[in-house]
Chains A and B, each alone.
Chain A
């Protein structure tokens, strides 16, 4: 580094910051202990004149707890740091040369894993203090809202249409079209509902965003409100996310105090009220109509469509229901223009996708990139193979209702249509890797078991089909059955999958066949009789 210690000491006190993440996964790796140790060192040595900031995570979870120190050249990263390393790092290296400490990784933003990403929606996650409105504004926050306040509702909806943004929750419905439908409804009580019921295993982008930059979600919801004429918003958050709950509530309070929520936001004639509501451990409530039932205080039973929620949604009123990432992408679109967002991506998948690498993966975390990268590049270049150092055998993309993909399909580009063409789904961008010890018959069985546990029970193919699905898979793998009986069961399973796919009201029953069929198709040997298949709980 060019800067000596004396140069640094001439910096204003506030520029000396030490960052330790408060993200759930960082905490699960011990970041609270590290932060506590930083505080005690700073208290014992006030001459260091530094402050501790609890930020979101950069998404490089194998390096958490990551400790970053601001320097005139940028933030310098150390990781993974344990509490006992803290004193040494701060005292020997805090404001001095960056290279010598064994845990020093160099400038955070020069790390190849991070540098090669295209962070539009996650631009501030891991950088700012998540609940600090001033910090948010310093890093480009509320520019989109400020632009939005000078536009008409139709202009706002047009900008979102122009961006090509499609719902990031998994269904990939064009956001602008949904908003247009709500805008076109006569003036009345309308609602903006954020679907933060991120229940798919292997996904955590919503959680990271809500913990690391909740104000961008709040800003996106305010803009959505202005776009369709809604003055009330709800964030339906799953109860499995206690940290996100606490941070969202603090961010909402701070946004209210700063005049961004409530009546006459930013001195305008517009109002927007926002509240977090907790789910209660029901996967089905991630389905938008079930979510609305739950918000109304009922059992989360799926509604038949039509009517669309955009016309008859929450409490029977026109309602925008959007995923966290969809709404959090809107401030970028309004600050940089729809066209700028549209310039990223491929085909009809425009913009960026926050991809989550999970399961048996050496470098798990969040990678935000334009659509179009191949699964292979993600698994190898970013994920660095299996954490177990064994061969990777299968990956499930798009959550529990997504297909299992064998190696020959890993050259597929991340794009809604490309995935659809191979009978798979991109969903919310979660990728779960499995090594060669995986038993794919057990995974197929689990898909049915999960559907049995989580089905809302409204329609028969899902409610009963899932139970029969578990039974029939057991018959296929049961060594006591002869080959003909097993083959009959395979035929029956295909038949059952068809019934579930075409006869269910929503994606729960309709897509449970995806992981089952793909496991059966690409990994048939796993369905040969073997004693290892897990029996029911």
Chain B
């Protein structure tokens, strides 16, 4: 697990304060932290544990149970490839291998240039237009390697322009 700096800790403290009185506040707090910082830093755990009156182990247990939560900073773009049956029926097994090769990373890894993190996902609800992937909050369907590489190219161009 990676820790965050003072600024990150301040954000976490604010998030906890805003959410800790909700019934079942754990997931809302974890979501808010990950939305803001892109991951859940190790030094957030004692703060969450104290606020919710649970042990650090319990917080860790919740974080590690859910596939969505991550404890390491991801690349600039998180790419989730659907591994569901509907996508398999439309060639996702080949597609996922091609994407891994194209980015030179496996699932749960981040590319060397810190641009892309690859994750599996089990269904994006886009099953009438399989195979599907999600990049950020955008869902792309009827994908093949060529279309994937076009999308990646457009994302990369966009990030370069921002810099």
Binding site for B on A (CB under 8 A): 24-25, 27-29, 61-62, 198-204, 206-207, 239-243, 277-283, 294-300, 315, 356-361, 364-366, 387, 396, 400, 430, 432-435, 438, 442-443, 446, 450, 453-454, 456, 534, 537
CB of B43 closer than 8 Å to a CB of A: no
Pick the contact of B90 from A200, A360, A446 — CB < 8 Å? A360
Q: Are A278 and B27 in touch, CB under 8 angstroms? A: yes
B99 CB within 8 Å of chain A: no
Neighbouring A residues of B139 by C-beta, 8 Å: 24-25, 27-28, 243
Q: How far is the CB of A32 from chain B (nearest CB, A)?
A: 9
Hey, which chain A residues are within 8 Å of B127, CB to CB?
201-204, 356, 358-359, 364, 430, 432
Name the residue on A nearest B134 (C-beta): A240
| A277 and B27 within 8 A (CB) | yes
B53 CB to closest chain A CB (Å) equals: 11
Residues of B within 8 A of A242 (CB): 137
Q: Can you report 19 A-B residue pairs in the complex whose CB atoms are below 8 A from each other?
A: A24-B125, A25-B128, A28-B132, A241-B125, A243-B139, A277-B28, A280-B31, A281-B68, A282-B65, A296-B23, A296-B24, A357-B128, A358-B127, A359-B130, A360-B89, A364-B128, A387-B90, A443-B88, A534-B93
User: From residue 60 to 98 of chain B, which have CB atoms closer than 8 A to chain A?
Assistant: 61-62, 65-69, 82, 84-90, 93
Judging by beta carbons under 8 Å apart, are A295 and B66 in contact? Answer: no
Q: With a CB–CB cut-off of 8 A, which chain A residues contact B142?
A: 28-29
Q: Which of B67, B122, B123 has the most CB of A within 10 A?
A: B123
Cβ 8 A contact of A282, one of B66, B87, B120, B129:
B66
Give B121 Cβ to nearest chain A Cβ, in Å.
Answer: 6
Report yes or no: B129 in contact with A364, Cβ–Cβ below 8 A: yes
Q: In the bound complex, do residue A201 and residue B62 qualify as a contact, i.e. CB atoms below 8 Å apart?
A: no
B44 CB-CB contact with A under 8 Å: no
- Please measure, in the bound complex, the distance between the C-alpha atom of A200 and the C-alpha atom of B127, giving whole angstroms: 10
What sequence of 0s and 1s flags, for each residue 14-26 of chain B, a beta carbon within 8 Å of any chain A beta carbon?
0000000001111
Name the interface size band of chain B: 35 or more
Check B24–A277 contact: CB distance below 8 A: yes
Q: Verify if B124 is at the interface (C-beta below 8 Å from A).
A: yes
Bound-state CA distance A277–B140 (Å) is: 25
Cα–Cα, bound, A280→B25 (Å): 14
A198 to B126, CA, bound (A): 12
Q: Which of A207, A294, A358 contacts B27 (CB 8 A)?
A: A294
Measured CB to CB, the nearest residue on chain A to B137 is A242
Q: Name the distance in Å between B148's Cβ and chain A's nearest Cβ.
A: 13
Q: How far is the CB of A537 from chain B (nearest CB, A)?
A: 6
Per a CB cutoff under 8 Å, which of A240, A282, A361 touches B124?
Answer: A240
- In the complex, A204 Cα to B141 Cα: how many Å? 14
Other A-B contacts than A204-B128, A438-B89, 7 sampled, CB-CB below 8 A, are: A24-B139, A27-B139, A201-B85, A278-B27, A280-B66, A297-B27, A537-B107
In the bound complex, what is the Cα–Cα distance between A108 and B141 (angstroms)? Answer: 24
Q: Do A201 and B23 touch across chains, with their CB atoms under 8 A apart? A: no
Q: Is the CB of A240 within 8 A of B90?
A: no
